[in-house]
Amino acid sequence: MQLSSRPFGTTRDGVPVELYTLSNAAGMEADIATFGGALVRLTAPDRDGNLADVVLGYDDLDGYLDDQCYFGRLVGRVANRIGGARLVLDGREYALDRNNGRHHLHGGAGGFHSRVWKAEPIETRVGPALVLRHESPDGDQGYPGNLAVSAIYTLTGDGLRLDFSAATDKTTAVNLTAHSYFNLSGRPGEDCLGHVLTIPARRCLETDAELIPTGCLAEVAGTPLDFKAGVAIGARIRQDFLPLVNGHGYDHCYVLDSRAGLRPAASVVEPVSGRGLEVLTTQPCVQFYSGNHIPEGLPGKGGAVYAERSGLCLEPQGFVDAPGHAPFPEVALRPGEAYRQTILYRFFVK
């Protein structure tokens, strides 16, 4: 197991950014930048043992500074959307940053994805790890409370583990996730429509035309949102089905079976290479996003050119817009409580 680092440039206000590389005995590598905690590169083997990078991103820091897709970034304080940028906690209302029309998205324009995290490399019994820490002050993007956050990336023998923790001095909202775009083909710039996706969920959150949850759960059986049996992403994506029309493709939050501990959230296989990815989580939901808004002709890593649906996101998280819907499990964090959630990306071949 190995861990190394090198400079990755400086932000436009002069803050240095480092790029850390974790390696394991199988030859897999993960590159993680302190800017946004971005997963810049992650290699995985195909059925013949050939390693290839399976995440979208950029060759240099400038790409991430200009990026509007959240490639590989850690997002928070609250992932996904908060309707009307209005947060209500214990009867008190807070106005959040409006960065998605009239709504709040992924923690605001100045959310965790846009901050330089402090890094500390460590060795664990599982493999090399990188501890990232960030201090979010009271009022940051409108959120109450001083929040201390940590994210630990660990490269295991067959994948990558991400452990989140947080603590606050005032009641606030926390719902952290990672926003990596995966393409398991090993052929950068190709679309992901041939990837076969399985999501073991019977229900998803019903949303309106602006992708804000209505507060209702929708059964997926018999609809293009049903991935329980494993279906190619492109098989039904262009159907005239209102949730797909509203999202310009898949951008839906699936509710997992309610049981505690680390459990499967989704799996995806790219048939040509045989690469497979299983995503496990302690969170109650997973957002599936089919890369509908990646700009056409976007320059990516190694000369690749990205476009719509060049990659897919599987983002474990809490219920979207939970503070706006009393029946949803809350994402509030109070003083003295510990926030802990885990995402595990485990690769296999088929």
Annotated domain spans of the chain: 2-349
Q: Which pLDDT value is given to residue 204? A: 98
Token pair in block for residue 30 = 């993960």
State the burial class of residue 274 (Cβ atoms within 10 Å of its Cβ: 0-12, 13-18, 19+).
middle
Cα separation, 88 vs 207, in Å, equals: 20
Q: 315 catalytic, yes or no?
A: yes
**Annotated catalytic residue: which of 18, 134, 315, 325?**
315
Token pair in block for residue 274 = 């045989």
How many CB atoms neighbour CB 346 within 10 A?
Answer: 17
Q: Which pLDDT value is given to residue 292? A: 98
CB 268 within 8 Å of CB 288? no
Instruction: For 113, list phi and psi in degrees, rounded to 5.
Output: -65, -20
Q: Which pLDDT value is given to residue 1? A: 57
Q: Which pLDDT value is given to residue 78? A: 98
Q: Which pLDDT value is given to residue 289? A: 98
CB 188 within 8 Å of CB 71? no
DSSP code string of 39-78:
EEEEEEE-TTS-EEE-B---SSHHHHHH-SS-TTEEE-SB
Point out the annotated binding site: 80-81, 179-181, 251
Q: Which pLDDT value is given to residue 126? A: 83
DSSP category for residue 35 = B
The pTM of the full predicted model, rounded to 2 decimals, is 0.97
pLDDT along the chain (350 residues), means of 10: 90 98 94 98 98 98 98 98 96 96 98 98 88 98 98 96 98 98 94 98 97 97 98 98 98 90 96 98 98 97 96 98 91 98 97
Q: 106 catalytic, yes or no?
A: no
**Annotated catalytic residue: which of 106, 179, 195, 252?**
179
CB 89 within 8 Å of CB 332? yes
Four-way CATH pick for 2-349: 1.10.10.10, 3.90.1210.10, 1.10.1060.10, 2.70.98.10: 2.70.98.10
Point out the annotated binding site for beta-D-galactose: 80-81, 179-181, 251
Cα separation, 201 vs 222, in Å, equals: 13
